[in-house]
Amino acid sequence: MPLTFTFALSQQQSFELRCHYGSRRLDKAELAALIDLCERNYYPKQRDSLHDLTELGRRIYQWLDGKEGWLRRSLNEADEQTIYLDFIQRG
């Protein structure tokens, strides 16, 4: 079963990340830093750095996994070692 994350703006004007395990409020500064890092690495360069792309993947994984361990738990519960992420923006 794929794990679906929902990115939502809450009533308190803060951002939340939700999945079937629960929800957590996102730190605005951490979110802004991650967006900035993704923007810098999104556009192709003359030569992409494997190290930079690997580090970006690690940071995104850690951000999604969080203290709750949502991705780790999903990998442990999955029949196969694959997780499909479907990001849905709700406003």
In the predicted structure, residue 87 carries a pLDDT above the cut 80: no
Residues linked to residue 36 through DSSP beta bridges, in sequence order: none
In the predicted structure, residue 76 carries a pLDDT above the cut 70: yes
Q: Distance (Å, rounded) from C-alpha 26 to C-alpha 67?
A: 12
Question: 74 burial class (0-12, 13-18, 19+ CB within 10 angstroms)?
Answer: buried
Q: Per the domain annotation, does 25 fall within a domain?
A: yes
Q: Domain tally for the chain?
A: 1
Q: Per the domain annotation, does 1 fall within a domain?
A: no
Q: What is the pLDDT of residue 42?
A: 66
| Domain containing residue 64 | 6-90
Q: Is 37 helix (H, G, I), strand (E, B) or coil?
A: helix
Question: Cβ(29)–Cβ(17) under 8 Å?
Answer: no
Q: What is the pLDDT of residue 33?
A: 84
Q: What is the pLDDT of residue 36?
A: 84
Q: Per the domain annotation, does 82 fall within a domain?
A: yes
Q: What is the pLDDT of residue 69?
A: 92
Q: What is the pLDDT of residue 1?
A: 60
Q: Kindly state the average pLDDT of the residues 62-87.
A: 78
Q: Per the domain annotation, does 36 fall within a domain?
A: yes
Q: Distance (Å, rounded) from C-alpha 29 to C-alpha 31?
A: 5
Q: pLDDT digits over 24-71, tens only?
A: 888 778 878 888 877 776 666 677 778 877 888 888 888 888 899 988
Q: Per the domain annotation, does 77 fall within a domain?
A: yes
What are the phi and psi torsion angles at 10 (to 5°)?
Answer: -80, 175
